[in-house]
Amino acid sequence: MIALGFEGSANKIGVGIVTLDGTILSNPRHTYITPPGQGPGMGAPLQVSAIVVRMLSLLWKKPIVAVNHCVAHIEMGRIVTGAVDPVVLYVSGGNTQVIAYSEGKYRIFGETIDIAVGNCLDRFARVLTLSNDPSPGYNIEQCLRSLCEVYNEYMPNWDLENYNALLCLTYSKLLDGFLKTLDGNSEIDATELCLVIANYGPSYFPAPSDHETFQKNLDGIP
């Protein structure tokens, strides 16, 4: 089987032709990079993709198969890595989830209970007036490149409890901690605050390798 795939999300439109085993038959790249804006755009790429797909379906009398965006990321990773039955830590756009296949479908075993880690980093960079070019996360990393050690001078005692029993997390507390630390404190350097977020890096995500907790959730699926 050969599939013509259309992807329209965030700020891009992608078209590719692939076989059932993942062989790429066509993947042309005609890239126009827009100037950095104030945030992601969703409407236009989705509308254009939907209109073109429906038109081609009618013209060529071919069925349209809707694909969940998250599942597409996972399946693409499975093809590239050859993984058979992976436990996935899915971090993309507005998602932060622990996903695995069970009982005939992908199921979410844990996720952020408020904002995604990407949203947290984006808002953090915006508060510090870091550039959106090429991305907020990249510029946070650049703030850290000149530092060789991890200092704890600006490590407030924030409540960053992870909800490990359900493999769930929260990032709004982390962001709120930054905002409270910044409030009325103009002497704190952006580089030092970027260092704080790097220090808390290991607590961003749950540990899918915690087999006992994960198996407990898996056994609870009806």
pLDDT in tens, 74-91: 998 998 899 888 889 888
Between CA 136 and CA 125 the distance in angstroms is 6
Residue 58 has a pLDDT of: 97
* Residue 23 sits in the same domain as residue 35: yes
* Residue 72 sits in the same domain as residue 1: no
Neighbours of 194 (CB within 10 A): 21
> Is the confidence at residue 11, as pLDDT, over 90?
no
* Residue 133 sits in the same domain as residue 195: yes
> Is the confidence at residue 154, as pLDDT, over 70?
no
Q: How far is CA 126 from CA 33, 103, 110, 143, 169, in A?
A: 21, 42, 28, 14, 22
Domain of residue 179, residue span? 117-219
- Kindly report each contact of residues 216-219 with a partner whose C-beta sits within 8 Å and lies 24 or more positions away, as own/partner: 217/109, 217/110, 217/166, 217/167, 218/100, 218/102, 218/109
Kindly give, in sequence order, each residue whose CB lies less than 8 Å from that of residue 183, ignoring residues fewer than 6 positions away.
none
Residue 102 has a pLDDT of: 86
Residue 51 has a pLDDT of: 94
39, 44, 49, 54: CA torsion to nearest 10: 150
Identify the bridge partners of residue 96 per DSSP, sorted by sequence position: 91
Residue 148 has a pLDDT of: 44
* Residue 214 sits in the same domain as residue 155: yes
Residue 19 has a pLDDT of: 92
Residue 33 has a pLDDT of: 66
Tell me which of 9, 34, 67 is where a domain ends: 67
Tell me which of 113, 139, 171 is where a domain ends: 113
* Residue 84 sits in the same domain as residue 177: no
Between CA 211 and CA 207 the distance in angstroms is 9
Residue 135 has a pLDDT of: 78
* Residue 121 sits in the same domain as residue 215: yes
Q: What is the pLDDT averaged over residues 40-58?
A: 84
* Residue 122 sits in the same domain as residue 87: no
pLDDT band at 204 (very low <50, low <70, confident <90, very high): low
> Is the confidence at residue 213, as pLDDT, over 60?
no
* Residue 169 sits in the same domain as residue 204: yes
Total domains, the chain: 3
Between CA 87 and CA 106 the distance in angstroms is 10
Nearest to 199 by CA among 154, 157, 150: 150
Q: Give pTM, 2 decimals.
A: 0.67
* 3-class DSSP state of 25: strand
* 3-class DSSP state of 56: helix
* Residue 79 sits in the same domain as residue 63: no
Residue 55 has a pLDDT of: 96
CATH of the domain at 52: 3.30.420.40
* Residue 121 sits in the same domain as residue 182: yes
* Residue 58 sits in the same domain as residue 93: no
* Residue 57 sits in the same domain as residue 75: no
**Residue position matching structure tokens 């945030």:** 39
Tell me which of 67, 87, 102 is where a domain ends: 67
Kindly give, in sequence order, each residue whose CB lies less than 8 Å from that of residue 191, ignoring residues fewer than 6 positions away.
143, 144, 146, 147
The number of residues making up the chain comes to 222
Q: What value does the mean pLDDT of the chain take?
A: 75
* 3-class DSSP state of 52: helix
Higher per-residue pLDDT: 126 or 211:
126
